[in-house]
C-alpha cells in the first residue's frame, strides 16, 4: 500500500476527488444518506492508501484538536468494498495512529466509532467512553486511546 499523508490544501484535485468518491460509495450508498462534507475536512490531515495500480483502497481523516474533540480525532475510516477482509482496515488505522503520534506526541486520540466495530478499535488500543448513541442513523460509541511518543525515524 502506498500512503499519502497531507493537509487538505495539499491533496490536489485528483486525490480529493478519489477520496470523496470512496467516501460517497461507502458512507452514502452502502450505509444510507447523510451529509458527508461536514466542514471539518479543511482543518484535517488526510491519509490515503493506494494499491500498486494507483487505485484508492483506504482513507481516513484526522481532525485537528479542538474542533470536534479536545484531542485529535480519527474519522471517516473506510476501505473499498473489494479490499475488505484482507486486514487493510487494521493497517489503515495503525498508520493513522502512528501519524497522530508523530504530529501530536503524547496526545490521546478520540474517535466516534460505529458501535459494531468497537472490538476492532479496542484491539487497536481504544477504550469506550460513555454509552452508545445514534449518529447518522447508526449506533456509535465514543472511544479514546492514550497518547504515545514515537521516534520520528519510525515515521
What is the tens place of the pLDDT at every residue in 132-147?
999 888 899 999 999 8
- Say yes or no to pLDDT of 148 above 50: yes
Residue pLDDT, tens place only, 110-121: 999 999 999 999
pLDDT, tens only, 62-111: 999 999 999 999 999 999 999 999 999 999 999 999 999 999 999 999 99
pTM, two decimal places: 0.91
Q: In which band, very low, low, confident or very high, does the pLDDT at 154 lie, cut at 50, 70 and 90?
A: very low
**What's the CATH code of the domain at 34?**
3.40.630.30
The residues, any chain, with a CB within 8 Å of residue 6's CB and separated by 6 or more, are 15, 45, 46
Q: What is the pLDDT of residue 155?
A: 45
Q: What is the pLDDT of residue 150?
A: 60
Q: What is the pLDDT of residues 8-60, one digit of tens each?
A: 999 999 999 999 999 999 988 988 887 888 999 999 999 999 999 999 999 99
Q: Is 46 helix (H, G, I), strand (E, B) or coil?
A: strand
Kindly state the DSSP code that residue 17 receives in the 8-state scheme. Answer: H
Q: Domain range spanning residue 48?
A: 2-154
Q: Provide the pLDDT for residue 149.
A: 64
The answer to whether the CB of 113 falls within 8 A of the CB of 126 is yes
Stated length of the chain:
155
**Among the listed residues 70, 8, 68, the one whose alpha carbon sits nearest the alpha carbon of residue 43:** 8
Considering its fold, how many domains does the chain have in total? 1
pLDDT, position 141: 97
Amino acid at each position: 500500500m502506498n500512503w499519502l499523508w497531507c493537509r487538505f490544501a495539499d491533496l490536489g484535485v485528483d486525490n480529493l476527488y478519489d477520496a470523496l468518491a470512496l467516501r460517497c460509495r461507502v458512507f452514502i450508498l452502502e450505509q444510507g444518506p447523510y451529509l458527508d462534507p461536514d466542514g471539518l475536512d479543511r482543518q484535517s490531515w488526510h491519509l490515503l492508501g493506494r494499491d500498486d495500480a494507483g487505485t484508492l483502497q483506504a482513507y481516513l481523516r484526522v481532525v485537528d484538536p479542538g474542533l470536534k474533540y479536545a484531542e485529535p480525532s480519527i474519522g471517516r475510516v473506510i476501505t473499498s468494498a473489494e479490499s475488505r477482509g484482507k486486514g487493510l482496515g487494521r493497517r489503515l488505522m495503525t498508520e493513522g495512529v502512528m501519524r497522530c503520534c508523530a504530529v501530536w506526541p503524547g496526545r490521546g486520540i478520540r474517535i466516534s466509532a460505529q458501535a459494531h466495530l468497537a472490538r476492532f478499535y479496542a484491539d487497536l488500543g481504544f477504550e469506550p467512553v460513555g454509552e452508545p448513541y445514534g449518529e447518522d442513523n447508526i449506533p456509535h460509541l465514543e472511544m479514546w486511546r492514550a497518547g504515545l511518543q514515537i521516534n520520528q525515524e519510525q515515521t
